[in-house]
Amino acid sequence: MTAEKKLPEGPITTEELARTPKCNENVRSAMNSEVEKFLAQGGAVTQVESGYRADPPKKPESKYGSRPI
């Protein structure tokens, strides 16, 4: 969850992919503690409207016929 953790070498194992209730609870607990730490350091959480995009789609650019003969 944090940048401090090192990624394991090699492929992801079946154990790491297992989605057991205990595993999910551990992930939720870790995420909750990270959010609390972020907020304690002065961070803020803002609610964003549904469907908001930080990078709106651009009109496709046509380069057809742009090169001289």
* Ordered DSSP codes for the chain: --TTSPPPSSSPPHHHH---HHHHHHHHHHHHHHHHHHHHTT-------TT--SSPPPPPPP-TT-S--
Per-residue model confidence as pLDDT tens digits over 16-25: 676 788 888 9
User: Which secondary-structure segment (H or E) carries 14?
Assistant: helix 14-17
First to last CA, the chain: 55
**What share of the chain in percent tops pLDDT 90?**
30
Rounded mean pLDDT, 17-43: 90
pTM, to two decimals: 0.48
Name the DSSP class of 12: P
